[in-house]
Amino acid sequence: MNEIGGVPLFFLEFGDIVAYFSPFTLTLFLLALVFSVFVIVSRPERQIDIAFGADAFFAKEISLPELRFRRFMAIACGLACMGAMVTGDVFDFTLFVSLVGICNVGIVAAVRTYHVQDAAYQYGLVALAGTVPLFSAAAIVAATTGTLSMLELASPAAPAVPLIARALLVLGVMGEGMAPFYAAKAEMFRAPGAPYVIMCSLSSLLIFLRVTEVVLLL
Amino acid sequence: MIIQKISRILSNYDNILPLFAGACAILAVIALLSLPLPYFEDQLYPKQIVPGSTLNPYDRGGPPFTQADIRLQYPQNSPTAGYVTAYLTPFSLFLSRTTMYMGTTIVAHPGGILDEILYNTRGLDTVVEPTILFISFAIAAYIFHRRED
């Protein structure tokens, strides 16, 4: 097997879907796990707006229902991330990545600010469009190699995965995680509620790291 | 300088969707140009449509109550594979004998036909798929509900 992320330490079998923990995937898994725990135990930040020309400031309060919903979304995002980090199946990976994309939109969609909602809508459309290259990549992998298991595809005997399938997979992950669009994600970070919002960028970073391994493995 | 310009364009979230759509279109054109892709004949999950079978398209073969021979990636992980479609509840059996639509009622009634591959050996996929659906329902419900307060 082409061991790009190190020798797998142990396997977790779900029938034909085998999650494997190599040093690389285990590190990413632990990162997602630790941050999920942070999200569970931490309280959201309170943004302070300073009023110009006056000796005043405003603290943005986050209501309890909004806090609960965003925490739920952030935990779901963390769980989806953990799944995407360790799964050893191409189709399962694409499913987890699209779950991460939807959770990202959910975290910001709960904010009541107009421009954040507007941004969340645009990200939602990108995540929606991203599923097309994502799942078509999985379909092409299945059709051209006959299998979806990364462990089988990593063996030298496996048929070659066409370059276009890898390109589609990367583009799909870019759409779901919006990884290269950090400049535009500034709108997201301006949303109040720090630990939950940072889950968006952490998850997109993690899935992007993982997809590099997947593409090199295939 | 050029990074500054790119960053300025990207920082406007209205530009992201056209940009991404453009990238998708370019890649779609490349994908079309790279056709035909070779089809691997030895598929892991072969599926043949048997026109006469009432269990179509979930007929994996095999007589009831005995194990059917099913191709798997890791047979050692699913020792009970092959039993699922071989078993039908009395109502499912009745449906499959009287109508041709048993295959369309996958989980629509208790003891409905279960596809071996879809629900047993690739069960994690089946769990993740409804999770995506439920998460999107949760977001939609939250946003819709919030409008009223």
**A 158-187 residues inside an 8 A Cβ radius of B:** 159, 162-164, 167-168, 171, 174-175, 178, 180-181, 183-184, 186-187
Q: Look at residue A45 in the predicted model and tell me its pLDDT.
A: 74
- In terms of DSSP H, where are the helices of A42-113? 64-86, 90-109
Q: Is the peptide bond before B36 cis (omega within 30 degrees of 0)?
A: yes
In the structure, what pLDDT confidence band is assigned to residue B107 with cuts at 50, 70 and 90? low
| Cβ neighbourhood burial of B118 (10 Å; 0-12, 13-18, 19+) | middle
Across the range A152-169, mean pLDDT stands at 87
Q: Can you tell me whether residue A49 is helix, strand or coil?
A: strand
In this complex, do A16 and B135 lie within 8 Å of one another by their Cβ atoms? no
Lowest mean pLDDT segment, chosen from B12-21, B35-44, B55-64: B55-64
Select from A178, A106, A206, B18 the least CA-distant residue to A186. Answer: A178
Mean pLDDT computed over B72-95? 75
Mutate to test the interface with B, among A11, A16, A126, A218 (most CBs of B within 10 A): A16
> In the structure encoding, which two tokens stand for residue B86, read together?
């071989």
Q: Is the pLDDT reported for residue A185 higher than 80?
A: no
The predicted complex's ipTM stands at 0.83
Across the A:B interface, residue pairs with CB atoms under 8 Å apart total 154
**B116 vs A120: CA distance, rounded Å:** 39
Tens of pLDDT along A170-182? 999 988 886 555 5
Q: Where are the alpha helices (DSSP H) in B38-149?
A: 90-98, 123-146
Closest A-chain CA to B39: A144
Which residues are CB-neighbours of B123 under 8 A, at least 6 positions away?
Answer: A14, A15, A17
Query: What tens digit of pLDDT does each residue of A25-45 get?
Result: 999 999 999 999 988 888 777
